[in-house]
Structures are given as C-alpha cells and as structure tokens.
Structure 1
Amino acid sequence: MPRIELQTEIKADRKIVFDLSRSIDLHKISTEHTNEEAIAGKTSGLIELNESVTWRAKHFGIYQNLTSKITEYKRPKYFADEMIKGAFAEFKHEHHFIESDGGTLMTDFFDYKSPFGILGKLMDKLFLKKYMTALLTERNRIVKEFAESDKWMEIIK
C-alpha cells in the first residue's frame, strides 16, 4: 500500500492549525482547481469525530464522489479520516500536530490502496502517487497561508 508522508512547519498556534485542517470551508478553497464541493454529510464548518462528508470533484477529467469519515480524534494533537465510499479501494489520512519552535509541525500520513489490482499498482507508479502528493501539498500550503496570517479568522469563527 503506497504511503505519502508530508511535513509542514507552520508559524501558528497548534489549535488554529488543527482546526484549519479539519475545516470543510478551507478544504474547498484548497481544491478550487478540481471544483471540489461538499454535497452530503457535513458540508461546512469544522468536521468532528464520527462525522462524514461526501465530496464531488473532477479528477482526470471525470467527476467523482468520495465519502470520508473522521474515525480518530484527539484535539489538538491528531485526527484521522478514512474513505467510506469512493474511487480508492481504501485510504486513511492521518493528521498529526506537534508544537515546535513556537509554532506547529504538521505531519500527514496518507495510506491508500488503488482499485484495479495490478493495473492500480501501475497507475500508482506512473502518476497517482505524484498527483495525490501534489493535492496534499497544495492543501498544506493553504493551511499554512491562512494560519500564518489573519485569514484563519475568516474560517474559524
């Protein structure tokens, strides 16, 4: 199963970074290029333990729906979301937040399994892991941008 691991240093309070990372509204901003829209479940605000959201987005020229659920939650240190329904065979995205040098070290572990057996493994190697890494990197860039400025107050009210 492929794993993507990203670390992002953010000069902001850990609670702010944690809440921005679970914000449906900020996720929409970070995925504007895929026309991502929350269409069911929790569709705005801050997602909590045992809540789910269904996203509709355009990836590889095709609109897809993906439902994920917050399955683990310990504010402000950690939460995890897992796919309930969608294009992957499975995925789990862990979000870790550690206080570091007056700011926050945010670490993502994204473990996923592609559908289609051997063909899915080939897709991982050719483009999917790179594509998913770019999506997560952009998401983290937006979290950092909002957390390190006053923009976070537009999201967390």
Structure 2
Amino acid sequence: MSHYVLKRVQKLPISLDLAWDYFSSPDNLAEITPSYMGFEVLSNSDSVKMYPGQIITYYVKPLLGIKLFWMTEITHVADKKYFVDEQRFGPYTLWHHTHFFKEIPGGVEMRDQVHYKLPFGPLGDLVHGLFVKKQLEGIFAYRNQVLEKKFGRFGG
C-alpha cells in the first residue's frame, strides 16, 4: 500500500489576514470544491475561530455520485501561519493536509501539502493511478481558478 504526497502553491494579491480568515472557515469549503463532488458541510461553525480539536463533518461524492460521510479534525493551528486537518473517518486510510500561509510582497503565498493513503492495498494503488491522483489534481486546479476569480491574479 503506497503513501502519496500532493503539493501545491498559490499566490494571491490579498492580505494574510484575509487569506487566513477565508481558509480557516469551513463555511467556504464548498465554494472552492467542484460541484460534481457534491460537497456539503454538515458542521455548524457558528463563526467560531478555528482551534485544535475542532471536528468538521461533510458529505462528499468522490466516485460515481456515491455519497460518503467524511470527518476531519483540526489538529494543529499556528495563527496566520498554518493549520492541519486530518481525516478521522472517510474514504482514505490516511489524510493529513497542512495549509501554510506566508505574507509576501504584494500578497500571500499559500502552500498545501497532503499526505494520503488509499485503502485496499494494491487495488487502492491501481485506483490511485487510474482515478484518484487526477481527481485530486483537478480539485486543486479548480480551487486555484475559483480563488483567482474571487481575489484576482497575483501580479496581474
């Protein structure tokens, strides 16, 4: 059973405060997820500031429109620097997603690093190569497009 890493970097012409406020709110997750994923946040954030131990629950349809329950926990938070969400229940054997934020001239740089593993051993590896890797890359590409449309292109 293989372990995979997905890394992405995006720069946006917004303040660190705005980037942090936007990304640390579960209320914005559906906006940056493609509609075909059927992403639905179940948790009520009540505009509570993100904190370690926070549980966020969703429905998602990653394959053939089959609705799955997904639960993540915010395990680490360094205000305006990074936060980590880890799957507690869902489609992966491992999901550890670190979101990094850094103020740069003219905006903010956001880096994502996702460590993940699929269930079912060699079959999971096959499914990763045929489908999951492309899907995850597409989700992050979609997110980049939505964020550029919402906040503008960095340097442009």
TM-score band by shorter chain is 0.7 to 0.9
What TM-score comes out, normalization by structure 2 length? Answer: 0.85
What TM-score comes out, normalization by structure 1 length? Answer: 0.85
Q: Distance in 2 between matches of 1:115 and 1:44?
A: 34
Give the equivalent residue in structure 2 for 1:155: none
Q: Distance in 2 between matches of 1:44 and 1:119?
A: 40
Q: Distance in 1 between matches of 2:150 and 2:50?
A: 18
Q: CA deviation at 1:48?
A: 2.8
Matched, 1:21 2:23: yes
Q: Is the 8 A contact 2:25 2:45 kept in 1?
A: no
CA RMSD after TM alignment: 1.9
Number of residue pairs matched? 148
Give the equivalent residue in structure 2 for 1:30: 32
Q: Is the 8 A contact 1:20 1:147 kept in 2?
A: no
Which of 71, 81, 85 pairs up with 1:81?
85
Q: Is the 8 A contact 2:34 2:139 kept in 1?
A: no
Which of 77, 100, 117 pairs up with 1:96?
100
Which of 133, 137, 143 pairs up with 1:139?
143
Q: CA deviation at 1:44?
A: 5.7
Q: Distance in 2 between matches of 1:110 and 1:85?
A: 16
Structure 1: unaligned runs, 5 residues or longer? 150-157
Structure 2: unaligned runs, 5 residues or longer? none
- Pair 1:48–1:136, CA change in 2 (3 A): farther
